[in-house]
Copies of this chain bind each other. A is one copy, B any other.
Amino acid sequence: MPIYNGCGYSLTMQVIGGKWKICIIDALRNGPLRPSELFKAIPEATERVINHQIRELLMYKVIDRTIYAEQPPRSEYFITELGKTVFPLIDSLDDWGDKNREIYGDI
């Protein structure tokens, strides 16, 4: 399986493996959000950084955006059908960490 480069795992990691991507996906889980709302949802990261991660998630078709022809400009990001298929992955990873946290109490 993993000759590493080109294996499924490394592709998946390329898609969801950025520092803030999971936060963005999670924030969009119960409905679309405008950029400003996303920034508020993730105050630990700067807007520039979140924008950068958004760009990648768009590129990988995990999220998409609706641009409204309004003024001031308005846009909304939302999870695509493809994006919804990563929910189980994220949940499994999150569960594993929660379940095993006490093992690492000393680290």
Chain A 19-63 near chain B by CB (<8 Å), digits 1 or 0? 010110010000000000000001010000000000000011100
User: Could you tell me if B85 and A12 are in contact, using CB atoms closer than 8 angstroms?
Assistant: no
Cα A61 to Cα B17 with chains together (Å): 23
A4 to chain B, nearest CB (A): 5
* Chain A to chain B contacts (Cβ below 8 Å), 11 pairs: A2-B22, A8-B97, A8-B99, A9-B22, A9-B90, A9-B93, A11-B98, A12-B97, A59-B107, A60-B107, A61-B103
A residues at B contact (CB < 8 Å): 1-2, 4-5, 7-13, 15, 17, 20, 22-23, 26, 42, 44, 59-61, 82, 85-86, 88-90, 92-101, 103-104, 107
